[in-house]
């Protein structure tokens, strides 16, 4: 059942994969597709750069960066819809922002008026979601966990808008069965909704990876597990993490579809995800997607784990920055100008600055050691 890899990759050598051209299926709408991917990728990049800066100035105690993962995550979340479940990790700001906000309402005229959108945004107040997300990052009362949980360790549900988002716990791999359980709930309800979950390549070594995928495949759950393989788990390279050629082929052992894709190419990634989502919606079971991305940052900011990445390898990742790649592609294709890209960057940065400043000014939670451990 192994699908043809969307892009061949050297996998376990640690070298970044080559970049494939925009997929042919999007030839008529590729301008629009690139613009849509780019808008959310840029918003995500500015989101991270803002917190990274705050970390450096001591305004934030900890930060896990999504820089380098924007193409994979934005493209993945572009393939889901209202009512689908997103189960994210700590490098998935791209998927969260893509799922939460309608960027057109935040930055008017970011798209041409005749734009054919890849996915419809969820209804509801995008600005409020972005603001609460910033409060969540900063441990404020208005954050989704009211200051009780850090950064991406929260859930957010808006049933009226079909927003289902389950966040992570620190134990990597643990959310795989939980996300498969979200898919089970859809199957029980005889709905055609799907659940997607992101993990790093390190979590593929856990027991929950095996148990979760095995049950998901036996029960044909509408579940897609995306491995964001950045080739380094904290300071451990893939050569010390697994001995197989690639992780997508592990799908064979579970009797499910497995696809390897260049996660720096949002168009290729989106195509793979669309196929996987279609497979899940039509009852054909789960898909394992291995998306190769680059290691651009340490495990967390300031932990010097990036020192372990050999210089040549790191340079390769930085030279294949998905943000640069998509912008170069857009300029070279004559879709937009460098000046326009700079204008959009400034608008995204200004929006993030405004929202984060507003969140910073919000109150911290009051002491409440009696917060309930049980639902009443």
Partner 1 sequence: MPNEMTIEENVLYIEALSHALRDEMRHDPSVMLMGQDIAGHGGAFKITKGFLDEFGPQRVRNTPIAESGTIGIATGAAILGQRPVIEMQFADFISCGFNQLVNVAAKMYWRTECSVPLVIRMPGGGGMGAGAFHSQNVESWFLHSPGLKVVAPAFSDDAYRLLRSAIKDPNPVIYFEHKFLYRRERTDLKGTEIGDRVVGEANVRRSGQHLTSISWGWMTHRVLEAAEIMAAEGIEIEVIDLPVLSPLDLDPILQSIEKTEHVAITHEATRTCGFGAELAARISDEAIWNLDGPVRRITYPDSPSPFNKKLEADRIPSVDVICDGWRQALQS
* Positions that interact with partner 1 (CB under 8 A): 85, 87, 144-145, 148-149, 153-155, 157, 164, 166-167, 169, 171, 174-189, 195, 207-208, 210-212, 214-216, 218-219, 371-375
Burial of 214 (0-12, 13-18, 19+ CB in 10 A): middle
The residue among 178 and 325 lying less far from partner 1, judged by its C-beta, is: 178
Question: Which element (helix H / strand E) includes 98?
Answer: helix 93-100
Residue with structure tokens 């995306």? 226
Q: How far is the CB of 213 from partner 1 (least distance, A)?
A: 9
The tokens for 110 are 């970011």
45 with 296: CB under 8 angstroms? no
The residue among 159 and 334 lying less far from partner 1, judged by its C-beta, is: 159
C-alpha distance from residue 4 to each of 23, 156, 177, 255, 347 (Å): 14, 36, 26, 15, 40
Residue with structure tokens 């409060």? 135
Q: How far is the CB of 375 from partner 1 (least distance, A)?
A: 4
The residue among 87 and 267 lying less far from partner 1, judged by its C-beta, is: 87
The tokens for 250 are 């592990």
| Distance in angstroms (rounded) separating the CA atoms of residues 88 and 291 | 15
The residue among 53 and 150 lying less far from partner 1, judged by its C-beta, is: 150
Q: How far is the CB of 331 from partner 1 (least distance, A)?
A: 42
Q: How far is the CB of 155 from partner 1 (least distance, A)?
A: 4
17 with 279: CB under 8 angstroms? no
Q: How far is the CB of 171 from partner 1 (least distance, A)?
A: 6
C-alpha distance from residue 26 to each of 51, 73, 90, 118, 337 (Å): 34, 19, 30, 10, 21
Q: What is the DSSP code string of 252-282? A: HHHTSEEEEEETT-HHHHHHHHHHHHHHHHT
Residue with structure tokens 């080739």? 231
The residue among 5 and 173 lying less far from partner 1, judged by its C-beta, is: 173
Q: How far is the CB of 143 from partner 1 (least distance, A)?
A: 12
Q: How far is the CB of 365 from partner 1 (least distance, A)?
A: 13
Q: How far is the CB of 233 from partner 1 (least distance, A)?
A: 18
Q: How far is the CB of 337 from partner 1 (least distance, A)?
A: 44
The residue among 116 and 155 lying less far from partner 1, judged by its C-beta, is: 155
| Distance in angstroms (rounded) separating the CA atoms of residues 108 and 117 | 15
Residue with structure tokens 């309930």? 372
| Distance in angstroms (rounded) separating the CA atoms of residues 208 and 172 | 9
Q: Crossing angle, helix 93-100 and helix 126-137, to 10 degrees?
A: 150
The residue among 240 and 369 lying less far from partner 1, judged by its C-beta, is: 369
The residue among 175 and 348 lying less far from partner 1, judged by its C-beta, is: 175
The residue among 240 and 371 lying less far from partner 1, judged by its C-beta, is: 371
| Distance in angstroms (rounded) separating the CA atoms of residues 64 and 198 | 15
């Amino acid at each position: 059942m192994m699908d043809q890899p969307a892009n061949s990759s050297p996998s376990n050598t640690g070298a970044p994969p080559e970049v494939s051209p925009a997929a042919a299926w999007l030839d008529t709408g590729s301008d629009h597709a690139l613009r849509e991917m780019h808008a959310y990728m840029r918003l995500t990049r500015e989101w991270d750069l803002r917190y990274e800066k705050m970390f450096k100035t001591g305004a934030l105690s900890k930060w896990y960066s999504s820089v380098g993962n924007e193409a994979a995550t934005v493209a993945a979340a572009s393939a889901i819809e209202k009512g689908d479940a997103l189960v994210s990790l700590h490098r998935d700001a791209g998927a969260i922002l893509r799922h939460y906000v309608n960027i057109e309402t935040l930055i008017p005229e970011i798209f041409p008026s005749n734009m054919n959108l890849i996915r419809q945004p969820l209804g509801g107040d995008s600005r409020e979601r972005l603001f609460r997300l910033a409060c969540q990052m900063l441990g404020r009362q208005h954050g989704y966990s009211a200051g009780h949980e850090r950064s991406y360790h929260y859930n957010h549900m808006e049933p009226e808008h079909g927003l289902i988002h389950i966040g992570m716990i620190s134990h990597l791999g643990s959310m795989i069965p939980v996300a498969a359980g979200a898919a089970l709930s859809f199957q029980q309800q005889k709905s055609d909704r799907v659940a997607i979950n992101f993990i790093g390549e390190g979590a593929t070594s856990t027991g929950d990876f095996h148990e979760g995928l095995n049950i998901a495949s036996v029960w044909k759950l509408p579940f897609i597990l995306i491995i964001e393989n950045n080739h380094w788990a904290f300071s451990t390279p893939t050569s010390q993490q697994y001995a197989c050629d690639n992780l997508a082929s592990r799908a064979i052992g579970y009797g499910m579809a497995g696809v390897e894709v260049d996660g720096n190419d949002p168009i290729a990634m989106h195509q793979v995800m669309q196929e996987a989502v279609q497979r899940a919606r039509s009852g054909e079971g789960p898909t394992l997607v291995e998306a190769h991305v680059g290691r651009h940052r340490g495990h967390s900011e300031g932990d010097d784990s990036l020192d372990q990445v050999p210089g040549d390898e790191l340079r390769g990742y930085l030279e294949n920055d998905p943000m640069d790649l998509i912008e170069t592609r857009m300029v070279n294709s004559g879709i937009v100008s460098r000046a326009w890209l700079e204008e959009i960057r400034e608008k995204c940065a200004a929006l993030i600055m405004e929202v984060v400043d507003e969140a910073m000014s919000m109150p911290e939670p009051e002491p409440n050691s009696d917060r309930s451990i049980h639902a009443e």
